[in-house]
């Protein structure tokens, strides 16, 4: 059946769905905050900020920075507790981002209003702002950034020891802007990663669903055809067993052949499911138009007269087209045997220059025309039983890019006709059939009738 993919195999979803590089996990949608990590980060930032604030309060050359009328203010040791508070609350910035931003901003604002140099201290609220911006919508992040800038800007200019616009006042807007944009960028990256992951999961589920439907169609076609042949032959054998033992033996032989073929195809399908990564058995017969003769021979054993007409030069077909055409013919003949009460059927195959056309007609009463029903399985007087034969034929035609018509004919009987686009120049060989599979038609003939 060609290269198959098992239900349990995970498809390659591409590089977009892969995890980020080591060290950049915090950009991933899978990243989760850690209290320990946040506490260590807060402790490191607090230590750096306190040491830097102490250095700003005790410069080696005060005259280089402070000239009349501005003088170096005296900064008591207790003042640095405000810096400690502004940094310590960062340990909870992922749990209470808004509250942490407010507390950190208030502590630095109080430190600034007192008239002490706040150059490094303003970075602590910026860290809290960046964390909040990564967790809220962009509009909220910008609103919080404007409020933080207003509070810190006013507090820094009210009693600035370096002058109204001295020190870090001019840098403060850029600091707030960088923190806000960085947070928004992280939020956008995580949202994108989440979207890609969701798209990849939906694509994986779609592929699994398609594979499940494909296998269901294969199983239905194999089981339905095999059981239909066995049912008809078993009924014939039971009637002929006492009156014509020789003909009953022929029916039993047909049952044996049909069951053997059905088991072989079921085994091939199950082997694909069990060994999705292994190469398929090259000697296993591949369902395709090259097995049309074997299919028709088996159907004829049920007593149905089947005539096959082939027009055009048979050629290798794309694997999907080859399989779909064969399965549609198989399902149509199976329905004829099981439901139509027909005495004869005609299979027409036409190899055109840019397409393949198949048609199956019978002279029976047909099956129910409602989608999702294959007709009456229990007798002419019983109610129709829901099935998947007609729907499966439509799905197969669509999967191969073709079209199909299914319905009763005005003069009586039932008709299934499908067309598959397959230009001769674009055709790729289908997998070869097993040894012993007969050819569909002599290559030299333009039209063969059997």
307: domain CATH number is: 3.30.565.10
**Rounded to 5 degrees, what angle do the CA atoms 17, 19, 21 make?**
135
Last residue of a domain, one of 198, 215, 232: 198
Final residue of a structural domain among 198, 213, 237: 198
Please state whether the predicted TM-score (pTM) of the whole model is above 0.95: no
| DSSP letter (8 states) at residue 79 | G
Domain shared by 174 and 316, yes or no? no
133 Cβ partners below 8 Å, 6+ apart? 141, 144, 145, 179, 180, 181, 182, 183, 184, 186, 187
Q: Measured between alpha carbons, how far is residue 204 from residues 218, 275, 277, 279 in Å?
A: 21, 20, 17, 23
Contacts of 71-74 with C-beta under 8 Å, sequence gap 24+, read 71/161, 72/161, 73/115, 73/116, 73/117, 73/161
Is 56 inside a domain boundary? yes
pLDDT confidence of residue 78: 85
58 in a domain, yes or no? yes
Q: Would you give the DSSP letter of residue 288?
A: S
- Cβ neighbours for 92, distance < 8 A, ≥ 6 positions apart: 38, 99, 100
Helix (H, G, I), strand (E, B) or coil at 5: coil
Domain termination site, one of 146, 166, 198: 198
Tell me if 145 sits within 8 A of 126, measured CB to CB.
Answer: no
Rounded to whole angstroms, the maximal C-alpha distance in the chain is 130
Per-residue pLDDT at 61: 62
Token pair recorded at residue 339: 């439901």
Shared-domain flag, residues 27 and 148 = yes
Alpha helices in 161-291 (DSSP H): 172-240, 245-274
- In terms of DSSP H, where are the helices of 114-164? 123-133, 138-158
- Residue 62: the pLDDT is 58
Measured distance CA(249)–CA(348) in Å, rounded: 32
- With beta carbons less than 8 A apart as the criterion, state whether 254 and 229 touch: yes
Residues 148, 202: Cα–Cα separation, whole Å: 41
Q: Determine the Cα–Cα distance for residues 172 and 156; give it in Å rounded to an integer.
A: 9
**pLDDT (0 to 100) of residue 191:** 87
- Residues 194, 291 within the same domain: no
Does residue 299 share a domain with residue 192?
no
My answer on whether 59 and 164 are in the same domain is yes
Residue at 241 is within a domain: no
Asked whether residue 225 is assigned to any structural domain, the reply reads no
13 domain residue, yes or no: no
Yes or no: say if 241 and 255 are a contact pair by the CB < 8 Å rule: no
Q: How many domains does the chain have?
A: 2
49, 192: one domain: yes
Please give the pLDDT value at position 238.
78
SS3 label, residue 162: coil
- Pair (43, 190) in one structural domain: yes
SS3 283: coil
Q: Is residue 143 part of a domain?
A: yes
Which residue, 170, 174, 100, is CA-closest to 132? 100
Return the pLDDT at 423: 80
Q: Is 278 part of a structural domain of the chain?
A: no
* Domain co-membership, 292 together with 194: no
pLDDT block averages, 10 residues each, the chain of length 450: 42 46 51 83 93 79 54 75 93 93 93 82 93 93 94 85 67 92 91 86 84 73 71 75 76 74 69 56 64 87 88 87 88 82 89 91 66 39 50 84 90 91 65 37 38
52 within some domain: yes
Q: Is 446 exposed, middle or buried (0-12, 13-18, 19+ CB in 10 A)?
A: exposed
* DSSP E strand stretches across 327-378: 344-351, 355-362
Expressed as residue numbers, the domain containing 360 is: 287-450
Mark whether 294 and 193 lie in a shared domain. no
Looking at residue 210, its pLDDT comes to 79
């Amino acid at each position: 059946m060609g290269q198959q993919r098992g239900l349990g195999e995970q498809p390659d979803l591409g590089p977009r769905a892969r995890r980020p590089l080591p060290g950049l996990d915090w950009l991933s949608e899978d990243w989760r905050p850690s209290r320990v990590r946040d506490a260590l980060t807060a402790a490191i930032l607090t230590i750096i900020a306190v040491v830097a604030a102490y250095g700003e309060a005790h410069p080696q050359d005060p005259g280089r920075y402070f000239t009349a009328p501005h003088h170096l203010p005296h900064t008591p040791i207790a003042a640095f507790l405000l810096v400690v508070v502004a940094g310590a609350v960062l340990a909870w910035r992922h749990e209470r981002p808004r509250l942490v931003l407010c507390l950190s901003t208030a502590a630095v604002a109080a430190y600034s209003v007192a008239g002490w140099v706040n150059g490094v201290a303003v970075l602590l609220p910026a860290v809290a702002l960046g964390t909040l911006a990564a967790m809220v919508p962009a509009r909220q992040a910008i609103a919080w950034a404007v409020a933080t800038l207003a509070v810190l800007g006013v507090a820094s200019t009210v009693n600035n020891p370096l002058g109204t616009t001295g020190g870090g006042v001019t840098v403060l807007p850029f600091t707030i802007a960088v923190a806000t944009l960085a947070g928004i960028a992280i939020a956008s990256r995580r949202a994108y990663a989440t979207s890609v992951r969701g798209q990849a999961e939906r694509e994986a589920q779609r592929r699994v669903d398609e594979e499940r439907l494909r296998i269901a169609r294969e199983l239905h076609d194999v089981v339905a055809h095999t059981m239909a042949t066995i049912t008809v032959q078993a009924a014939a054998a039971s009637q002929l067993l006492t009156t014509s033992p020789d003909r009953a033996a022929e029916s039993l032989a047909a049952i044996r052949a049909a069951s053997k073929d059905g088991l072989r195809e079921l085994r091939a399908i199950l082997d694909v499911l069990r060994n999705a990564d292994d190469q398929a058995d090259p000697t296993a017969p591949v369902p395709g138009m090259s097995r049309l003769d074997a299919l028709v021979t088996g159907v004829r054993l049920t007593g149905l007269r089947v005539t096959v007409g082939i027009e055009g030069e048979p050629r290798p077909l794309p694997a999907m087209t080859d399989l779909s055409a064969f399965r549609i013919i198989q399902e149509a003949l199976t329905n004829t045997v099981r439901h139509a009460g027909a005495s004869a059927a005609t299979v027409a195959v036409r190899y055109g220059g840019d397409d393949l056309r198949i048609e199956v007609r019978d002279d029976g009463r047909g099956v129910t025309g409602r989608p999702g029903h294959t007709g009456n399985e229990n007798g002419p007087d019983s109610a129709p039983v829901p099935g998947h034969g007609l729907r499966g034929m439509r799905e197969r035609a669509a999967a191969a890019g073709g079209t199909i018509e299914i319905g009763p004919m005005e003069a009586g009987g039932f008709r299934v006709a499908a067309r598959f686009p397959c230009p001769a120049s674009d055709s790729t060989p289908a997998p070869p059939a097993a040894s012993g599979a007969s050819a569909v038609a002599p290559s030299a003939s333009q039209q063969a009738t059997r």
